[in-house]
Amino acid sequence: MLEHKKRYLQIAFNDDLLAVNRTLPLIPRSDRIFIEAGTPFIKREGFNGINKIKEIWSGFVVADLKTMDGALEEVDLAYNAGASAATVLGSASVETISLFIKRCKELNLVSMIDMINVEDPLKIVLKLNRPPEVVILHKGRDEETTWGKVIKYKHINKIRSKYDVLISAAGGVDLKEASSAIFNGANIVVVNIVTTADPWTGITSDKDVAKVAEQFLKTIE
């Protein structure tokens, strides 16, 4: 479903459905753009929120479930809501991650492992019978304002030495960080929709969203 030679922009919505209705229609249509139903969004709006995103965006939609347990049920819920991909935490049990990947494969969903707060992502993947399709190197939003916290691109070559998977970079991504992510071998960069009042980095919703999205697409080509 995903092409290794392409570079993708994943735009994450973490607020509510009102913000999605206001901003999502402004994002240019492209097969290189994924729309993410972020974890805070899903907690606010439930799986019906993912369905509402699909009504606006006919393309690729990521359900950022961050599954920690109950893999089969959560994958099914994401699939029934219309998601194209879903995420499981790298800190979950091997059993949970394995069930998650297996069920995603059965339903033709893209499986993504979020390695937030995982020191050695490769060690996690090595324990699995089947690798995911995407490994996410993730600096958490609570870490964005902490000096010295970075996305650890050193893991990309380690993972790629063993597995032919796509790598996603997330956490405080601006145009400069997006360029760095691609330079270091990432296939996907995740950018948050934010407001001017937010302390986080991303695409500001009260500015020219379409223009900035196009700038990101050009930067990661």
212 pLDDT higher than 90: yes
In a domain, residue 41? The reply is: yes
pTM of the model: 0.96
The per-residue pLDDT for range 147-181, each reduced to its tens digit, is 667 899 999 999 999 999 999 999 989 999 999 99
% helix, strand, coil for the chain, step of 5: 40, 20, 40
In a domain, residue 141? The reply is: yes
Q: Which long-range contacts (CB under 8 A, 24 or more apart) does 15-19 make?
A: 15/40, 15/41, 15/44, 15/193, 16/41, 16/44, 16/45, 17/41, 17/44, 17/45, 17/49, 17/52, 19/193, 19/205
In a domain, residue 2? The reply is: no
In a domain, residue 63? The reply is: yes
In a domain, residue 1? The reply is: no
In a domain, residue 3? The reply is: no
Number of domains comprising the chain: 1
The per-residue pLDDT for range 60-117, each reduced to its tens digit, is 999 999 999 999 999 999 999 999 999 999 999 999 999 999 999 999 999 999 999 9
| CATH code of residue 71 | 3.20.20.70
Residue 190: strand pairing partners? 10, 170
What's the domain range around 147? 8-219
